[in-house]
């Protein structure tokens, strides 16, 4: 019987596939960016995955999020994604955490498991910075997504050290907070060098300190997620 991973095995070989199967990855945030990152990791054969998100699917998510359908509005994002990931790989060792990350929780979660890689797809500043700092302190490898909203040009997406980012307000805010904690570089990120159009940003204020909402198009956040997954898959497998 043909394996569902036969085409990936054909490309990467058994040894590299074994590395992916034994790897353990944490994906924090499973919205427009993180949901795609998680699925690409599973489809590539990563065998152990933890996904974290506190949100439910909203109607406004449908334009870009993998798990957002009219039929899933109101449902837990991690629960919807978990069902999908288990349907891709029934043998997947999957842990789901529906919670909003605060520093104490982050320390507990990362202390309980020495992840081979952490994918940060959080879009709220405080937990994002806390996750990055904790991962750094515990010497766990992490790659972080910067802002995908307000952009339309996929050719401007790139990898960089956080210290080399520009034209990204989220990256600027993250840099500032990390510098306060003595971290000036050494964080790999995915960011876009495209400047955001001012008319794409609407000022707001909610209970989680999001200062604005930003317009999005269907393909940009998923591409950020694919960039994140590609980096992790290549690092874990050695390709």
Please report which confidence band the pLDDT of residue 206 belongs to, taking 50, 70 and 90 as the band edges: low
pLDDT at 207: 47
Distance CA 167, CA 106 (A): 29
Phi and psi of 207, rounded to 5°?
A: -70, -10
**pLDDT for position 220:** 97
Q: Give the distance from CA 218 to its chain's centroid.
A: 16
CB atoms within 10 A of CB 98: 15
- Output the pLDDT for position 104: 92
Q: From 197, 188, 143, select the one nearest 169 (Cα to Cα).
A: 197
Q: Are 186 and 164 in contact (CB under 8 A)?
A: no
Domains recognised in the chain with CATH numbers: 12-237 (3.40.50.720)
SS3 of residue 218 by DSSP? coil
For residues 214-218, average pLDDT: 92
Asked whether residue 88 carries a pLDDT value surpassing 90, the answer given is yes
**C-beta of residue 12 within 8 angstroms of C-beta of residue 238:** no
pLDDT in tens, 122-154: 999 999 999 999 999 999 999 999 999 999 999
Please give the model's pTM, rounded to 2 decimal places: 0.94
Tell me how far apart the alpha carbons of residues 98 and 83 are, in angstroms, rounded to a whole number.
14
H helix runs in the chain, sequence order: 6-12, 14-22, 34-44, 77-88, 103-112, 125-137, 169-180, 220-237
pLDDT at residue 214 is higher than 60: yes
Tokens read off for 193? 């060098």
- State pLDDT tens for residues 165-185: 999 999 999 999 999 999 999
Res. 198 pLDDT band, cuts 50 70 90: confident
Residue 197: predicted pLDDT: 77
Give 213's pLDDT tier (boundaries 50, 70, 90). Answer: confident
């Amino acid at each position: 019987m043909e394996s569902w991973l036969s085409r990936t095995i054909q490309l990467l070989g058994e040894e590299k596939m074994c590395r992916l199967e034994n790897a353990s990855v944490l994906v924090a945030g499973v919205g427009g960016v993180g949901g795609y990152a998680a699925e690409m990791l599973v489809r590539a054969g990563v065998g152990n995955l933890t996904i974290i998100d506190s949100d439910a699917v909203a109607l406004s998510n449908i334009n870009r999020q993998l798990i957002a359908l009219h039929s899933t509005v109101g449902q837990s994002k991690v629960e919807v994604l978990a069902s999908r990931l288990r349907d891709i790989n029934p043998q997947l060792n999957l842990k789901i955490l529906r919670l909003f990350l605060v520093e104490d929780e982050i320390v507990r979660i990362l202390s309980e498991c020495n992840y081979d890689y952490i994918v940060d797809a959080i879009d709220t500043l405080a937990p994002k910075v806390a996750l990055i700092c904790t991962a750094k302190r515990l010497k766990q490898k992490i790659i972080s997504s910067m802002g995908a909203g307000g952009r339309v040009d996929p050719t401007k997406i790139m990898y960089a050290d956080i210290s080399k980012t520009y034209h990204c307000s989220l990256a600027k805010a993250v840099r500032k907070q990390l510098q306060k904690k003595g971290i000036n570089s050494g964080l790999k990120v995915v960011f876009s060098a495209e400047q955001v159009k001012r008319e794409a940003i609407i000022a707001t204020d909610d209970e989680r300190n999001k200062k604005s909402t930003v317009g999005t198009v269907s393909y940009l956040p998923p591409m950020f997620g694919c960039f994140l997954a590609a980096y992790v898959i290549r690092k874990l497998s050695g390709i």
